[in-house]
Amino acid sequence: MIKHLLQGRPFGHPLHPILNHFPIALFVISLLFDMATLFGYGENALVLASFYTMILGVVMGVLASITGLADYLDIRADHPGKRNATLHMGLNLAMLVLYATNLNLRNGDLASTSTPILPFVLSLVGVGIIGVSGYLGGQLVYDEGVGVGRHLRDADAPPQTLKVLSSRAGPDGFVAVAEEGALPEGATLRVQVDTNVMAVARIEGKTYAFQEFCTHRFGPLSEGNFHGYEVQCPWHQSCFDVRTGKVTQGPAKLDLNVYESKVEGGKVLVRVPNDEQ
């Protein structure tokens, strides 16, 4: 599948964070070349060096955009990092347009011995944008864990959190969270009953519900990797038995909360957790 290829899953490493090294570093050094020419160093050679590095930066930036979009598509709509991801994308696209304009302006004046002022100012703005945008992109990885451990899992991440209220529960305490068809074998749901967030997995036909957050650094188990009845956290590879919640591999030390769930009448249902848990 083309999306999975652009996400780098076959390589065990996302592609976007590889490609984005190039525009970041090349746009910065292009600006340094401009500054050198404005201080009287390097003459025409560095005017050209600035131009050539910018061309390569734009080409790699376009490739980085395509792979970045593939990553963006798998961030669920209510993810706390989604807004920053959207902002990151908007800034990067604006930056590429700015640099394309910049190249166009420079193209007419490549014989000069110092970079003209307008393209230089555009480069300053461009590097400012890349600083902000790169920082946001880094936070998406290091704070939000986007793309981490994703290649270990075959299925896509749940596209959104399914929110239900316990007041809709039947007399047996179970509340319907989704149609049965939304949870095929090997897939997961991310479900919120009132404030309780849980992952629901389907293994050998049966459903298992457990707390969404790993007990190590609270990674998203609905995006985890499954081996038999074990779920592996995508962030630091802690494993838990989904039937009991017990830790089967660290770094996590504390067991998960597990919840009752079932399939009945074509619906996936979970039992409303009691507050003592």
Planar angle of CA 59, 64, 67, nearest 5 degrees: 135
Decide whether 183 or 221 has the Cβ nearer to other proteins: 221
Q: Does 155 bind other proteins (CB under 8 A)?
A: no
Q: Which of 35, 152, 182, 203 binds other proteins (CB under 8 A)?
A: 152
Q: Does 145 bind other proteins (CB under 8 A)?
A: yes
Spell out, one character per residue from 68 to 107, where the chain touches other proteins: x when CB under 8 A holds, - when not. Answer: ------------x---------------------------
Measured distance CA(187)–CA(203) in Å, rounded: 9
Question: Does the protein bind other proteins through residue 28 (CB under 8 A)?
Answer: yes
The 42-71 site mask, x for binding other proteins (CB under 8 A), equals x-xxx-xx--xx--x---x-----------
Residues near 271 by beta carbon (within 8 Å), at least 6 away in sequence: 169, 172, 173, 174, 175, 259, 260, 261
Burial class (CB in 10 A: 0-12, 13-18, 19+), 107: exposed
What SS3 state is found at 249?
strand
Phi, psi torsion values for 76, nearest 5 degrees: -65, 155
Q: Which stretch binds other proteins (CB under 8 A): 70-78, 94-102, 208-216, 263-271?
A: 208-216
**Smallest distance from other proteins to CB 266, Å:** 27
Q: Is 229 in the site for other proteins (CB under 8 A)?
A: no
Q: Which of 5, 83, 86, 142 binds other proteins (CB under 8 A)?
A: 142
Query: Does 119 contact other proteins by CB under 8 A?
Result: no
Binding test (CB under 8 A) with other proteins, winner from 4, 25, 203, 229: 25
The answer for 158, left when phi > 0, alpha when psi is -120 to 50, beta otherwise, is: beta
| Pairing mode, strands 188-193 and 161-164 | parallel
Contact status: 18 vs other proteins (CB under 8 A) = yes
Q: Which of 61, 68, 147, 158 binds other proteins (CB under 8 A)?
A: 147
Q: Indicate the burial class of 265 (C-beta count within 10 angstroms; 0-12, 13-18, 19 or more).
A: exposed
Cα(114)–Cα(48) distance, rounded to whole angstroms? Answer: 10
Nearest alpha carbon to residue 147 among 2, 248, 6, 242: 6
Neighbours of 232 (CB within 10 A): 22
Least distance between other proteins and beta carbon 55 (Å) = 11
Query: Which one, 134 or 269, has the nearer CB to other proteins?
Result: 134
Residues that bind other proteins (CB under 8 A): 12-14, 17-18, 20-22, 24-26, 28-29, 32-33, 42, 44-46, 48-49, 52-53, 56, 60, 80, 134-135, 138-139, 141-145, 147-152, 192, 195-197, 211-213, 215-219, 234-237, 251, 253-257, 273, 277
